[in-house]
Amino acid sequence: MAQMEEIKPNAKVMIVDDSRLSADLLRQIIQPMGYTVAIAYDGQSALRMIEQEKPDLILLDIMMPHIDGFELCERLKGDERTRLIPIIMITALSDLSDKVKGIEVGADDFVTKPFNDTILFARIKSLLKTKYLNEELENAEMVITSLALSIEAKDPYAEGHCERLSVYSSGLAKHLGIPDEFIKALKRAAMLHDIGKIGIPDSILLKPGPLSAEEWQIMRMHPIIGERICKPLHSLAVTLPIIRHHHEKWNGTGYPDGLQGEAVPITARILQVVDVFDALTTNRPYRTAMSKEDALKTLTLEAGKGWWDREITEEFVKVIRAGKL
């Protein structure tokens, strides 16, 4: 924590409360703790101020006219730009239903009136710590993603490949009714699946001709290297199996683990299908791009050979033919 405080000596706490009296009381408690305080007296001005002031934490009253605390909390947690700001809701003592609703709309913690300075300070401190850690992790993920994109940039034929994979794989996953958590992981994997190629020498990675057996052996290491690079980030936990297994095949002849059938994670099976389709429909040094229809036929043929999940392939063919993707 000492280190955190060194990084951010003047964390900004915003109080949102329509009662000037309570807002002022809170300010008097919080300011001596060393935080900068901003006050908004209603939900609407809070939204405006949050955009300008970018507070590190929000203390939120529930009962307010127009936009109440619940609605404000829900909006902030649903917005990519503000979702990481911790929100402490101010509830009446023993009002359980307020707490339940607060949890539902994403509140991070609760305090009750009359305020206990020590408890309030401890809660603010611990939520700020979590916020800074989350921000650091997001930054780390951004670094890894830009590394992955730098791999793509090495190969002019791969331009836009990751972006298209993200659109295809998340669209197909939605069509298949896959839970949101996995769709999110697929979007990340679309960017990150080949990050392990960073550990493969350019002489192999960019070789124009076919690879020798030994070179293949090295190339086949990239899913394992990729998993190792992303492993320290907890936010990528659901993405890791896709990175590791994106070159497995349904019939067990893939790598690195030779997994078979449904042992290959469904997310990896989805990524494979869209990856092959994208590779077939873009120009390569050794051939020009296929038409979508020809690519779908090839994909179906390969699924028939036992390479890809047949059901997923069939669904993908339907979605593409219907023009839904």
Q: What is the 3-state secondary structure (H, E, C) of 222-269?
A: HHHHHHHHHCCCHHHCCCHHHHHHCCCCCCCCCCCCCCCHHHCCHHHH
Among residues 197, 207, 292, 318, the one annotated as catalytic is: 197
Residue 109, C-beta contacts closer than 8 angstroms, at least 6 positions apart: 86, 87, 88, 89, 123, 127
Whole-number minimum distance, CB 191 to Fe ion, in Å? 12
Instruction: Decide whether 194 or 309 has the Cβ nearer to Fe ion.
Output: 194
Give bridge partners of residue 87 from the DSSP assignment: 58
Question: Residues in contact with Fe ion, total (CB under 5 A)?
Answer: 1
Instruction: Decide whether 15 or 195 has the Cβ nearer to Fe ion.
Output: 195
Whole-number minimum distance, CB 246 to Fe ion, in Å? 6
Place of tokens 């930054």: 139
Q: Is 248 in the site for Fe ion (CB under 5 A)?
A: no
Q: Is 275 in the site for Fe ion (CB under 5 A)?
A: no
Whole-number minimum distance, CB 243 to Fe ion, in Å? 9
Instruction: Decide whether 111 or 198 has the Cβ nearer to Fe ion.
Output: 198
Whole-number minimum distance, CB 153 to Fe ion, in Å? 16
Among 23-31, 71-79, 194-202, 314-322, the segment contacting Fe ion (CB under 5 A)? 194-202
CB 302 within 8 A of CB 316: no
Give which of 19, 13, 12 is closest to 113, Cα–Cα: 19
Among 191-199, 266-274, 288-296, 297-305, the segment contacting Fe ion (CB under 5 A)? 191-199
Q: Is 194 in the site for Fe ion (CB under 5 A)?
A: yes
CB 242 within 8 A of CB 265: yes
Active site annotation includes 197 = yes
Instruction: Decide whether 123 or 247 has the Cβ nearer to Fe ion.
Output: 247
Residue 296, C-beta contacts closer than 8 angstroms, at least 6 positions apart: 277, 316, 317, 320, 321
Whole-number minimum distance, CB 193 to Fe ion, in Å? 6
Stretch 112-131: interaction string toward Fe ion, x if CB under 5 A: --------------------
Instruction: Decide whether 4 or 198 has the Cβ nearer to Fe ion.
Output: 198
Give which of 259, 228, 254, 258 is closest to 243, Cα–Cα: 228
Token pair listed for 116: 């206990």
Which residues make up the interface to Fe ion (CB under 5 A)? Answer: 194
Which residues are part of the catalytic machinery? 197
